[in-house]
Amino acid sequence: MNYVLSGIIGSVAGWLVPRLLRTIRLHPATAACLGGASALASYHVIGFTGIFPRGALGLVLASLTGVAVMFLNLRTCFAPRLPHVTAVVRVFLGLFMLASGLMMWKANPQPGETLPGLQPGPLADWLQAVIDTGYLWQWIFTFKIAAGVLVLIPRTSTIGILAAFPYYVNLLIYTAAMANVWLFLSVPAFAATVHLILVHWHVYRHIFVRPEASA
């Protein structure tokens, strides 16, 4: 039910924005669809993190955050292909990284401590090894928070996307090998990163393709 309400809030907000801000030229139906999709993405990744209050207020704030970030990202520094779809995908990826990083920061177990609720097995052993390093857990959530912010800011988005790619390649391999229960998160995050790299390929291709020699 909350997802339905989030979609409705986002659709209404998306429909209203072009009417209130005349500089944004979008068909009302397109704006409503973009608003609804962004609100759902936002609510899905930050609605249960404790960043916003529980209940109706948190639902509204999470949904409107997604809509606001999406419209900000329609004006990108490097114009991508499929700009409308890309704006929603960037909302999902940026907020996913930011919210999961904040959740790790909130937990922040120290060496010798264990995460509550983990069942004994390879996953628990691996996470405990990360915690016991005394720095790797902190490095991961710092990286995710920083990269999430970079992805959400249009001018720095291509830097954040490039930084996120190897992380989500590793996460996909890790969840496929050890934590299948988390594939429902790692697969969409990996797909979103690949999509963002492809639509910004005109920016990244100079890293991978040798430029032609000048005549």
Does pLDDT of 167 surpass 60? yes
For the chain, give the mean pLDDT. Answer: 82
- pLDDT (tens digit per residue) in 28-64: 888 888 888 888 777 777 665 666 667 778 788 888 8
Does pLDDT of 103 surpass 50? yes
Tell me the whole-structure pTM to 2 decimals. 0.76
Higher per-residue confidence, 48 vs 181: 181
Looking at residue 152, its pLDDT comes to 86
d(CA 81, CA 213): 27
Looking at residue 76, its pLDDT comes to 58
Looking at residue 214, its pLDDT comes to 43
**Band (166; pLDDT cuts 50, 70, 90):** very high
Looking at residue 147, its pLDDT comes to 93
Does pLDDT of 194 surpass 90? yes
Select the highest-mean-pLDDT range: 4-13, 44-53, 142-151, 194-203. Answer: 142-151
pLDDT-wise least confident of 49-53, 91-95, 101-105, 203-207: 49-53
Looking at residue 215, its pLDDT comes to 44
Looking at residue 190, its pLDDT comes to 92
- pLDDT (tens digit per residue) in 206-215: 877 766 644 4
